[in-house]
Structures are given as structure tokens and as C-alpha cells.
Amino acid sequence: MKPIIFILIALVFVAVTSFDNNEPKTDQPVLGTRSVKIIEVAGLKFKDLNKNGKLDRYEDWRLTASQRSKDLLLKMSLEEKVGFLLISDIRMKNEAGRQAASTGPVTGEFNETDVVTENNIFTGQPLPERVMSAAGTTKGVSEFHLRHFIYRGNVAPAMIADWSNRLQALCESMPLGIPAIVASNPRNLITNSATIGTSVGTTSFSKWPSEIGLAAMRDLKLTREFADIARQEWAAVGLRKGYMYMGDIATEPRWQRIEGTFGENASLAADIMREVVLGFQGEKLNPSSIALTTKHFPGGGATKNGFDPHYEYGKEEVFPGGMLENNMLPFKAAIAAGTSAIMPYYSIPVGTKYEEVAYAYNKAILRDLLRKQLGFKGIINSDTGPINMMPWGVEGLSIEDRYAKALEAGVNIFSGNADPTLLLKAAKEGKAQINYIDESVALLLEEKFNLGLFENPYVDDKKATEIVGNASFQGKADLAQRKSIVLLRNEDKSLPLKQGIKIYFETYQRPYGRPGNPEPQIYGNAANRNDIAFVSSPDSADIVLLWVKPSMRPLFPSNDKPLRLILSECAVDVNYINQLIAKKPTILAINFTSPFVINEVYNDKSSSIKGVIATFGCTPEALLDVVSGNFSPTGKMPFTTPVSEEAVLKNKEDVPGYLEGDAYGLFKYDEGLTYK
């Protein structure tokens, strides 16, 4: 009897363990086609993607993603596999892009012109060799065998949907019918620092607080709703992969990417990351998911002196507080939630046990730490340009040898170059080993199979218009904006403002590097609010509401001088601000994209400032709802703001502000008042 018992136990084990992301399917999916024929087998329908008149295993949606991937891998040529390992920019006809100017009205047709640059697309510095950052669409798909793209443009939802359908139809017409996947940077967040590779900026999509604002919101349920709403909007237009979100911890206040983090507390960032991944992807990657690429492993916030590793002078990441392990918490949460991909940063770890090469080349970081220790089984996607533009630590290697080292280290797909010529050369010469190439292609195929792209990559452009940015979605986003606002000081219970009090509301915002003061942005009676009496000058007001939006030196281009966080270095005329504050009792609101040092206009002894508010990406209406009492503030600070520039200079790059000591901060992490 014992052998029978063992057999039964084994069968039960196989049955239980088969219920994973690769479990066989039995329900007929909706098939979307433009050119291939439908095959019917046993009353079920399948797409004849390779046009051979029979059902191949990779075309059989009943099989697991792993089984289908293995079958398709055998059918792909080396050229097709190599093209599959690149993800590059893609544009519509006449659309401006990196190193490319607009030549007429943008349409949903293909751009057919290669974009080739001789300079680093981020820093503008000359490159040793020219780089094709985007290929003409038809050429890229048919000759280079590209199937992974990054769309950074900002057009109407219907146009994105129509263009996406055209792209998928082109891919379907190719010999194996492998669909494309189109990725994007964030599109749903209010930000003052949108730039290449960080955020698309203001779009037609629902508008939520910035990432740091989601951390200030402290509402995990609403965070999950944000991700689910954004998922629906993205899927409606055919964007199925997000280059987001950042698991980096905001421990170095001078780093220019803090607005894109979930703050300085790794545990809070981990909680938010979990909800974001589950909201976009679901419990398992499926045909309604947006696949996420969590970045930048193992965390880029501890960069030396706040410099960014897009620049050679910023390539070192340092850990004077010994807190490298603290960086891992958000990434562990993302892995546990099932993030589809992880992106390593450009940095070189200094003073650790790891090889001093950029993370994309660091085998101990990617294969040993990320895969073996942390158990990550998904795709490792390089950041844009470590091969051609930011090859820190391996500058002496040829391009072919860089590809080989990065593949061996664990990278599965390379961002920033649309031309597979040198990667193909490395493969043919045996430098880039075929087992690493096959390993990578298999993972990338499985993602596409799990997303249902082989069955139906097409979208309805009319529904896209109805779904993206609809009133219901924006209503949730409006709530999030209000919940992200933090009340920091409320002297004499000046807030909420009393009914009938006369208010002068001015927004001060000047682009970095532009001389002179901007024309005052005065929010007046045109706002059509019955609860607030606006006046047009501070002299006739009872109280001034002053909303200052500092502008840092941008990430691109930057320079090798450490960022200064005092307001006078962040496009703010502090004399103008102080003169305005001196006229009347003032509510001072600051939009914090970084932990600005505001001691030039405020300290705890400032008598004319009756209230201090922190915002992190919101509309004037959201701010007014808080100051008027229509919404009682609940937000908490996502980071500590340094009390002085001296405190900034003394900070340890990898240590969060709440651990820097009591004398470090003016507004502390987790600080926040309410009216109740």
C-alpha cells in the first residue's frame, strides 16, 4: 500500500503546486485579430499567428505561459531573440522626442525616421559612438525585430489607442505574429519636475498627488484605488507596462528625484509599494494587468552628496550609516506582491562587499542578492543607457563586452538603444552567451503571454476616451489630493479660516534660472466660491494665503555642484516673499518636491506667519478646501525638512531624516495636525 500512498501524495502535490501564474486555462478568451486567421480545434478558437494553418503550442492559450514560451523560443532566430532584448523609445508621426523636433501636426501614424544622437540624451555630453535611441517604426519591427517600446508622448487618449492598434497590427503581420508591449513613465501624477525618464507630466489621465504626495496621504486603501484606476486608464489606450514606481528611499535630501519616491521611511514605502503593485497587476499578472517595473534596485537615494548617477561625477552610492539593508524593504514588498520587472540603477556601490561596478553589471547584486536571496523570478530591465551612456565601472570594455557582462550579471532587457547590431555581433562571436539570451527571451515572452497580448492586444479608441480621466476617477483623485495636504503649524487656531474673512491668495512660482519675479498668480472671485471672500491685493485683505512653489535646479542638465535646498537657490525671491508676509498675517503653503530649507522666510519664531501647510502636488481648489475647513487635513510629512543648510551638509546619505537626530529637522517625518 505504501507505494500507492506515495503516488497519491505526489499527485496532490503536483495538483496544488500547479495553481500558479502559469496554470492551464480552459475558458475561451476574446481573440483580437487584424490579419491572421482563426483556427478552430475541439470547438475552441485560436489565432494562427505564424500563418501555417495549424495550431502550434505557443498559439494554444490552454497551455501555461512557460510551455508556450519554450515552444516559441525554439521557433525564433538569433536575430529575433536579440531584437527582443532591446526596449527603445517610439514616437508617432511628427512627434517631438529626444533629439527630434516636431515637423508638423502629430498624427496616430508611424514615425518612420530613425533618431540617432551623438550626445548623451540626458546630459548632452558627447558620446564615443552614435546611438540610435529610436528606430523608424516599420524598420524597428520588421528588420530589427523590436517588440518592446517606451512611449513618452502626451496626446489624446483616442490617438494613443489608435496608434497602439496600428503598432499591434504591424507586429501581427510579421512571420511569428509576436505582439508588442508599450511601456510608459507615470502619467497620473501632479508634478512640477516632469522630465525625460521620470514623468510624462500633466495629461488627460486622472490627476493624483505626486508619489511623495501618496506617501503624505497615509491611506493605503485609497492608494490601491489609485493604482486600480490608473490601471484601467492605461489598459484602455494600450499601454501595458509601467516604468514605475520608485522603491528608492529619500535619505539624501539633495537628490533631485525625491518627488518620485514614497518618502524617507522604508517601512511606509514598502506598504505603499505593495498596494501599488497589487492595484496595477492584481494578485497575478493577467490580461487586465499593467505590468510594473519597480526601480531602481537596490535603491538610488544614498547617492554621494546628492549627485545623480546619470552623471559620471554622481556615480558613487555610499553608505556612511551602514543602511544598505534598509534600501531593500520596498523591493522586498514589490517582489512579494509579484512585480513583473525590476530595474537596477546606474550607481556604483562604494565601501560595501560588492564589486564596484554599476548595478546593471553587478552579478553579486543581481543574481546573488536579487534572485537568490530575495527570490525575484521576474524580468531585470536595465535603466536607459548603461551600455552606451552610463557604463560606470566598465568604461574600458567594448560595447560587445559590456552586453556580455550585463547579461551574465543578470540583465534581461536593455533600455536606450534601438539598434541590435552590436548585441547581435556579441552573440555571434560567443561573447554574449546564448543561454543568457534564451533565459531572457523566455522571461519576456512569459510576461506577454500572461498579459494576454498574444490573444488580444487591441483596444477600443472610443472606450479609451470614455474611460481616461472620467469624472468618477477624478473624484477619487481629488480626494487623494486633499488627503495629501499636511497642516504643520496653526498658531492661534487661525485655521480653518473664519467665514467672511477677506483673503488675498497668491501663488508664487518661477521657473529655475529665470531672472526677476513672475507676475503674481492671484486666485480671485472668478473661482466662484461662496465660502471665501477673495480680494485682489494684500492691502485690502485680513489674511494672506501665499502658496510658494520652489523650483530646483533640474535633473537635466545639471552640474557638479551639490544642490542647495535654501529657497533663494530654488527660484524664490525671499525678499519679495518676506515683504509680502510682513504686510498681513499669513498662511504660508509650500509645495515640497524636495525637503526644502525654508529658514530664509520662516522659523518657529516667525510672528506674522499664522499657519504653515505642506503640499505635494494638488490643485488650488484642494488647498482652499483645507484652509476653508471644507476638508479637515489628515496628511503626514513623508520626510524631514532640514532646519538649515548646515544640517544638510552634515547629513549621512543613507540615513533617513528621522534618524539624523533631534537637531536636524524643522518639520519632522510623520508630523501633521488636523482640526478635530
CA distance 599 to 602: 5
What are the residues whose beta carbons fall under 8 Å from the beta carbon of 361, sequence distance 6 or more? 355, 386, 391, 393, 394, 402, 405, 406, 409
Q: Tell me which H or E stretch contains 90.
A: strand 86-90
105 Rama class: left (phi>0) / alpha (psi -120 to 50) / beta: beta
CA distance 156 to 237: 10
DSSP-assigned letters across all residues of 159-176: HHHHHHHHHHHHHHTSTT
Q: And the C-alpha cell for 94? A: 511628427
- β-bridge pairing 641-642 and 665-667: antiparallel
Closest CA to 307 of 523, 563, 580, 486: 563
What are the residues whose beta carbons fall under 8 Å from the beta carbon of 64, sequence distance 6 or more? 22, 23, 24
Number of other CB atoms surrounding residue 176 within 10 Å: 19
Q: Tell me, rounded to whole angstroms, the distance of Cα 282 from its chain centroid.
A: 18
Closest CA to 88 of 79, 101, 80, 97: 97
CA distance 282 to 284: 5
Closest CA to 371 of 421, 472, 298, 263: 298
CA gyration radius, the chain = 26
Q: And the C-alpha cell for 408? A: 551574465
Q: Are 270 and 330 in contact (CB under 8 A)?
A: yes
Q: Are 408 and 436 in contact (CB under 8 A)?
A: yes
| Residue 383 known to be catalytic | yes
Q: And the C-alpha cell for 396? A: 574600458
Q: Phi and psi of 151, rounded to 5°?
A: -105, 120
Count of CA atoms in the C-beta half-sphere (13 A) of 107: 9
3-state helix, strand and coil shares in percent for the chain, rounded to the nearest 5: 35, 15, 50
Q: And the C-alpha cell for 440? A: 531572457
Point out the catalytic residue in the list 228, 248, 271, 383. 383
Q: Give 215's DSSP letter.
A: H
At residue 604's C-alpha, the angle toward residues 601 and 608, to 5°, is 60
CA distance 119 to 101: 16
User: Cell 503536483 sits at which residue?
Assistant: 14
For 320-334, letters b (16+ CB in 10 Å) and e give ebebbebbbbbbbbb
Q: Give 222's DSSP letter.
A: H
Number of other CB atoms surrounding residue 672 within 10 Å: 19
* Residues forming beta bridges with residue 504, ordered by sequence position: 544
Q: Are 562 and 255 in contact (CB under 8 A)?
A: no
Q: Residues with catalytic annotation?
A: 383
